[in-house]
Chains A and B, each alone.
Chain A
Amino acid sequence: MTTLVNSRLVDELGRAHEFNAAACMDCGVCSAVCPLEIELLPRRLFRHVLLGMEERLVEETETIYSCLLCGLCEESCPGGVHITENVRALRHFLNTNAVGGAR
């Protein structure tokens, strides 16, 4: 299935919550150091946001809320991405956005 790249999501998150994952180079250090061994967070999640894969984000609601916001990944991020801020932004988006209304 082809995904149409859509900038609406990152625009919205960026405007409302200063979501910024531009510096993420998808290296995977964040996933490697996660104490909960959450594989998805945050690198692939951010990629889904950047590409506008909104439905994928909704499917990942459970994972997004299981993060402890401990910040170990952010400490280790070579790109200096504000990972915890970004996760908070995603939670806010899921809480308020109509698409996530299923929850």
Chain B
Amino acid sequence: MSEERRIGVYVCHCGGNISDYVDVAQVIGAVEDEPGVVVARAAMFTCSDATQQEIIDDIREQELDGMVVASCSPSLHTETFREVARRAGLNPYEYTQVNIREQCSWAHTDDREGATRKAIRLVRAGIARTRLSAPLEPVTVETVPKTLVVGGGVAGLRAAFGLAEIGLEVFLVEREAELGGQVGNLGAIYPHGNDGRALIARLTRAVGERPNITVFTRAELVEKSGSFGNYQATVRVGGEPGERIQIDVGSIVVATGFDSYEPEAGELGYGIEGVLTLPEFEQLLNQDGALTFNGKPVESIAYVYCVGSRQPGGHEYCSRYCCSTAVHDSLRVAEHSPDVRQYHLHRDMRTYGKNELLYSESRERGSLYIRFADGEPPAVEKLPDGRLRVTVRDLLTEGEELAIESDLLVLVTGMVPRQNEELTGVLKLPVGKDGFFNEIHPKLRPVETVVDGVLIAGACQGPKSASESVTSALAAVSQSAAILKKGSAELDPLVATVDPEKCSWCGTCQEACPYDAIGRLALNGKQVAAVEAAVCKGCGGCVPVCAEEAIDLQGYTDAQVRAMIDGLLQEVAR
């Protein structure tokens, strides 16, 4: 069979990135007579438009049925050259990318001969794989034009409304009895002092008016099955045991929000009357008129920043929203009670972007900012008269030890990941080291997760302000639209396949599969394993555990991998 193949091999200089350390001509000399190779050429930049066109011409004129490009990492250009193959009429899965840049020239700058020999072996392996390649067609799945939104805070509400606007049917599931989440409890929020409760009321009304949004409160997502574009979700409504409702959806937007950091007893005086967390202080500010605490007018307030954030060994991240929130709160205080003394004890102020103006305004209005050193937090004690005494070393006065007497101490507490093991388990969502849900790529795929069709929005992904949460919610809306509006989706065909002749159903592959992609099927009077192509990720975990060698991975069959090993081990002339 191999003699019948017509393979084109292209070895890239990468403008010197490769050819400075790998002898490209020697590589071509060593592979051009490999069985099945009919074209072997070098190119300065294989990915350039001109070379792409030359490859297309070769494929057409030489009637190539296989293609190998030896250049950079497959993650960079596999799709580029699959597209070249497509344009030339060659099945894109007849293409193999060989990495001789990251794996040869960049890794072995001290050994040109060695780098060249390694490149020859890798290209031979790539040719060997391509000799046994087969044309593959993408797995096409129909998608359900419905989305499940988990979490009815500002992100979930905005996502639900946005999804409904583009014509998708939406199911919104909220664990609490009321929609609104954390923003729904807030008064004026930065930057412009909009009332959180009013914002949520407006959103809730808009959601309620949409006939294509169904809201479930006191409800939780308890089960998910199915595959990309066709999920079956089970929602439990009304607590345990409650009513279980089955919903078919094409995508799921997770917007489960955050928890506020709860200081430990005694941490910065927490537990003493008058020592408040940021959410507790925000509730206090919702009162009308001049600020009072326990019926007494408040004359002075101290704030300690970064409580529960940027703590080595604890929550190491910055919670983003707390500096701006506390500064904005101090302006709200100054608005109603201009004579209240306000002292801000911080490690750094991070009122990023336009919020810097709030910081300036707060200083203009007389707030005093005192910077303390990392690892030297202020000490808090209660005075006999009921007030609080906060002691801190001020870095801007050359380490002067200062004591501040105040009526209130606000611990500017940050965001922590919500304890949500059940949901994380149901959706198999990846959780980062910090405990928040992880996206695939922080810049380019910021709301997608490794679970296809499951998107994350808002502060469940990491600390965000209300406006940032809404931004990510709308990103999740557009990503849902990208998945669902076409009505179908094409998935990579590099998936596992079972040979029913060889399979004797032992169940080992099913146990090995991390994606629940393998089921059981009765066929010709016996039980055999069956792979659901739309669920399979092509990880290959089931292949080596099969005692009967009945499972193969498309594009990486056992035969191909053995041929690649033979190619790698073939002698290289010195």
Interface residues of A (CB under 8 A from B): 1-5, 7, 10, 20, 22-23, 26, 44, 47-48, 50-51, 53
**Contacting pair A47 B360 (CB below 8 A):** no
The answer, yes or no, to whether B401 is at the interface (CB within 8 Å) is: yes
Smallest CB separation, B408 vs chain A (Å): 15
The answer, yes or no, to whether B539 is at the interface (CB within 8 Å) is: no
Given the complex, which residues of A lie within 8 Å of B401, measured CB to CB? 1-3
**Contacting pair A48 B397 (CB below 8 A):** yes
**Contacting pair A3 B403 (CB below 8 A):** yes
9 A-B pairs whose Cβ atoms sit less than 8 Å apart in the complex: A1-B401, A2-B401, A5-B368, A5-B402, A22-B366, A23-B360, A23-B363, A50-B368, A51-B402
Given the complex, which residues of B lie within 8 Å of A23, measured CB to CB? 360, 363-364
Smallest CB separation, B491 vs chain A (Å): 55
Task: Across the interface, name the chain B residue whose C-beta is closest to A4.
Answer: B403
Given the complex, which residues of A lie within 8 Å of B391, measured CB to CB? 2
**Bound Cα distance from A22 to B403, whole angstroms:** 20
The answer, yes or no, to whether B428 is at the interface (CB within 8 Å) is: no
Given contacts A22-B364, A23-B360, A23-B363, contact A5 B343 (CB under 8 A): yes
> Which 5 residue pairs spanning A and B have beta carbons closest together?
A22-B363, A26-B396, A2-B401, A5-B404, A4-B403
Count residues of chain B with CB under 8 A from any CB of chain A: 20
Q: From A1, A5, A48, name the one whose CB has the most chain B CB atoms within 10 angstroms.
A: A5
The answer, yes or no, to whether B365 is at the interface (CB within 8 Å) is: yes
**Bound Cα distance from A20 to B363, whole angstroms:** 10
**Bound Cα distance from A47 to B400, whole angstroms:** 11
Number of A-B contacts (CB under 8 A): 43
Known contacts A7-B341, A51-B400; 18 further A-B pairs (Cβ under 8 A)? A1-B401, A2-B401, A3-B403, A5-B405, A20-B364, A22-B363, A22-B364, A22-B365, A22-B366, A23-B363, A23-B364, A44-B397, A44-B398, A47-B397, A48-B397, A51-B394, A51-B397, A53-B400
Interface residues of B (CB under 8 A from A): 341, 343, 360, 363-368, 391, 394, 396-398, 400-405
**Bound Cα distance from A50 to B394, whole angstroms:** 12
Given the complex, which residues of B lie within 8 Å of A48, measured CB to CB? 397
Task: Across the interface, name the chain A residue whose C-beta is closest to B401.
Answer: A2
Task: Across the interface, name the chain B residue whose C-beta is closest to A43.
Answer: B396
Given the complex, which residues of B lie within 8 Å of A20, measured CB to CB? 364
**Contacting pair B397 A2 (CB below 8 A):** no
**Bound Cα distance from A85 to B402, whole angstroms:** 27
**Bound Cα distance from A20 to B360, whole angstroms:** 13
Smallest CB separation, B356 vs chain A (Å): 11
**Bound Cα distance from A44 to B395, whole angstroms:** 11
Given the complex, which residues of A lie within 8 Å of B367, measured CB to CB? 22
**Bound Cα distance from A4 to B394, whole angstroms:** 12
Smallest CB separation, B339 vs chain A (Å): 9
**Bound Cα distance from A53 to B394, whole angstroms:** 13
**Contacting pair A5 B397 (CB below 8 A):** no
**Contacting pair A47 B364 (CB below 8 A):** no
**Bound Cα distance from A29 to B436, whole angstroms:** 42
**Bound Cα distance from A2 to B366, whole angstroms:** 22
Given the complex, which residues of A lie within 8 Å of B405, measured CB to CB? 4-5
Task: Across the interface, name the chain A residue whose C-beta is closest to B390.
Answer: A5
Q: From B363, B364, B401, name the one whose CB has the most chain A CB atoms within 10 angstroms.
A: B363
**Bound Cα distance from A90 to B397, whole angstroms:** 19
**Bound Cα distance from A3 to B397, whole angstroms:** 11
